[in-house]
Structure formats: structure tokens, C-alpha cells
Structure 1
Amino acid sequence: MGLPGAGSAAFGDEQSPRRLLGTTTVYEGRVWDVVSEQFSLTDGGEPITRDFIQHPGAVAVLVLNDDGQVLLLRQYRHPVRMALWEIPAGLLDEDGEEFVDAAARELAEEADLTARHWHVLVDLFLSPGSSSEALRVYLARGIGDVPEADRHTRTHEEAEIEVQWVDLDAAVDAVLEGRIHSPSAVAAILAARVARENGYADLRPATTPWPEHPSQHATWPRGAVLEG
């Protein structure tokens, strides 16, 4: 039995607002908060409470050079106690900054690189059962260097970043063999491999709207149900 709408242009996830009964911030962190929300699935349904991380969202960049190689960064991640191979990424924590501009900023800060050509590669919710974090991954091509005098000074874990150019097919092998675990890198590498089949011609423009990002959601009135 096939999925409803599968094979049609309309097939995909959709916003589904429910009746919001209350919101409480239970922890205020340096980067994100933990909130507790009470809602009901149906009008008059039983109250349900869920705690989750309220996250500003992030952008990431898969950089592809003229030799068909992708840029990977090795960085320590304390919660998992591992040094992971990742792609340049960062928080959407600058008020009013366009999504693609944030991606370009992160590329410059983490890899000392610029790019002339940008496309949307893939959009993700990284852990939708426990976090509101939305991630947009861009494909960046036409690579250049940030001038030495303009380079960002990296600190803490970023000071240990190692950079390596890897053939896209080798990166795919590393993902499928379980040697790369970063969700942004895994999704980006596999998406890029598929997109390469037609020369990246079907990728969305960099300025494509991103209605799934929390900042683009309509305000949900307390105690009211919004139509999807």
C-alpha cells in the first residue's frame, strides 16, 4: 500500500497547528531554552504536556569544489564525546539576517572560504520529537578564499577544527559504512550525490522561502485552533 499522495508534487510534510493551552519556560540556557507546552490534538481533547528544546535554528553548507570534492571539518562535540567530521554550520542567532547570508557568514568563519553560487540542498528537523531546531543546508560552489586580514579568530572547540577535502563518492562511502555521524553532513552528502546525477539542475534557489523555520510560523493564539 503506497503513501497518501506519494508520487505527486503535493506529497510532503505540512504544518498542523493544534490548540495551545499554555507555555512555560522551565530552563533558560546560554544558547537555547527548554519549554513545557500543554496542548490538545483535537478541539476539546485531553490536555497533553511535552517538554522540548526551543531552538533558534541553524544553517549548514556543503562546499563543492571544481574537482568534485566536498569540504569536511573535524570538530570535537562534547555531548557525544567524539571528534566528528561535519560540514560548516552555525546558529541563526543574528536578528534580521537572511538565511543564506548566515550560511555565508558561517562558511567564512569556520572555513575561511567564500562562494559565488548558492542553492538550497536539503531542509531538516534534526530531532522533531525533542527540539524545534530546523536546519537548512546549502550547496556552495565557486569557491574563493577569505583575505587573511579578514579571517575570523576561532576559539574553544572551533580552534581545533581540521579541514579536509574529500571526494564526494568517498564521503558517501563513509556515510554508508557508519564512519560519519553528523546528521547535517550525512543528509548533505547523500543529497549532493543524488543531485549530482543531473548536474545539480533541480536544486532550489538560495532565496527559496523556508516556512518550516519557527521564525516563519504564524503566532498561535492561546486556546485557539489555527487552520492549516
Structure 2
Amino acid sequence: MSVPDDEVRDVPRAHEVLEHELVYRGRVWDLARDVVDLGDSQVVREYVAHTGAVAVIALDDDDRVLLLSQYRHPARHVLWEPPAGLRDVEGEDPVTTAARELAEEADLVAGRWWRLVEFFTTPGGSTERITVFLARDLTPVAEHDRFDRTDEEATMVPVWVPLDEALAGVLGGRFASPTTTIGVLAAAAARADGWASLVPVDPASATEG
């Protein structure tokens, strides 16, 4: 079977859900079980019902990307990741969430924003979808307006890594976080294209997405 190149793309499609059960209600996300009609068969699928998230590839004037060290208990690793956070404020546009997370986790405000890339983290087992933004023209948050970080966020260490070095780290296996891996690869590809493919966005004028 041959498919034209311009038709090779992901498309939304929802099979009929015959039964839906909330198996477990968690503090942050839930576990659900569906009986799904595939047409010629019915299957049971369990998955994490996730709010979704955002991440920010923040680049300074020297094309260095900001990474933060954060302990991720399920992975049993301290990972180097870009600023990121859950879409847990109802009605908040993703870029607005991204701007808030950049301020809270990195004490930074960006003057320019672009939508960089979007992906499902685990499409076979979770509804989580992450939108990654590129942020530039960075300035620090005023000292008296800075967020009081707690828990794992309290121990995060920021580093500025040249984008080329971050790319080498991704390809060399030094970084395993999906937001770092995909965000850095996307940023490097966009830079190689002269940033022409990126769509600008504005947190100040954003509407719900």
C-alpha cells in the first residue's frame, strides 16, 4: 500500500467507548479503564488520564539552553530538564502556563515566544500531551516577585548549556528526559531552518487552547 507523502500524518480518531470506569483517582492524575469497540472486536484498555503539560526551551542571546536538575522518583533519576509543568489551571492557554512555569521554576520572563513542538509522552498508556515552547529575550523576575519553590523543585540546580552541546548530549545519551530530548532536537532543527518554521505566540493575548 502506497500513501502520498503529504498524507503521512497523525490524525485524531476516537473509536466508540462502550464502557468507561475510573479505576483510581489520584492526587495529580487518574487511572481509567475503557471497553473500546474496534469494529471487528472489543478490547479493554487501561491508561493514565493526564491533564497534559508544557515545557519551555529558554534560549539566551548566546544560544544557550536552560536546563534544571530535578529528581523524578518513578524513573529513580535526577534528570536535566527544561522548565515545565502541568496544565492544571482550568481554561489556561498552554503558552500562558508555560510563561508561568518559566517564572516559577527559573525566575525568568521571556519577551518572545514560539510554539516549538508537541508530542504524546506515552500514547499506548497515557493521555499526556506536552507542548514545548521556545522562549527568548529573557529577563529576570524581580526579587520580591519570585516564587517560593518547595519539594523537588526546591533543590533544582539551573545550568546554561550551549545548544550544540545540549544536542550532542541528547544524541550521546547524556539526557533522557523526553522534554529535553525532543525540545533540544526541535530547537536545533528550527535553528538550522533559520527559525522560519516556528509559529509565534503571545501569553498576553492567548486564549484557551
TM-score range for the pair, normalised by the shorter chain length: over 0.9
Give the alignment's TM-score, normalised by structure 2: 0.94
Q: 2:14 aligns with which of 17, 23, 28?
A: 17
- How does 1:127-166 map onto structure 2 within 5 Å? 127-166=122-161
Give distance in 2, aligned partners of 1:78 and 1:141.
31
Give the alignment's TM-score, normalised by structure 1: 0.86
- Residue 82 (1) aligns with residue 81 (2): no
Q: Which amino acid aligns with 1:74?
A: S
Give distance in 2, aligned partners of 1:166 and 1:5.
40
Matched with 1:41 is 38
Give distance in 2, aligned partners of 1:132 and 1:160.
29
Q: Which amino acid aligns with 1:166?
A: V
RMSD: 1.5
Shift of 1:97: 0.9
Q: 1:174 aligns with which of 165, 169, 174?
A: 169
Shift of 1:22: 1.1
* 1:66-107 Cα distance to aligned partner (Å, 9 max, x none): 101100001111111111000000000001111110000000
- How does 1:24-63 map onto structure 2 within 5 Å? 24-42=21-39, 45-63=40-58
* 1:92-145 Cα distance to aligned partner (Å, 9 max, x none): 000111111000000000000000110011000000000000000000001011
Consecutive aligned runs of 4 or more in structure 1 exceeding 3 Å deviation = none
Shift of 1:150: 0.5
**For structure 1, which segment, 173-182 or 191-200, has the greater mean C-alpha deviation from structure 2 after superposition?**
191-200
Q: Which amino acid aligns with 2:119?
A: L
Give distance in 2, aligned partners of 1:110 and 1:193.
23
- Give the gaps of 5 or more residues in structure 1: 208-214, 217-228
Q: 2:114 aligns with which of 119, 128, 134?
A: 119
How many aligned positions are there? 204
- Give the gaps of 5 or more residues in structure 2: 203-207
Q: 2:185 aligns with which of 190, 211, 214?
A: 190
SS of the aligned residue for 1:71 comes to strand
Give distance in 1, aligned partners of 2:157 and 2:44.
42
Identity fraction in percent: 47
* 1:133-188 Cα distance to aligned partner (Å, 9 max, x none): 00000000010111000000000100000000000000011011100000011000
Shift of 1:206: 2.4
Q: Which amino acid aligns with 1:90?
A: G
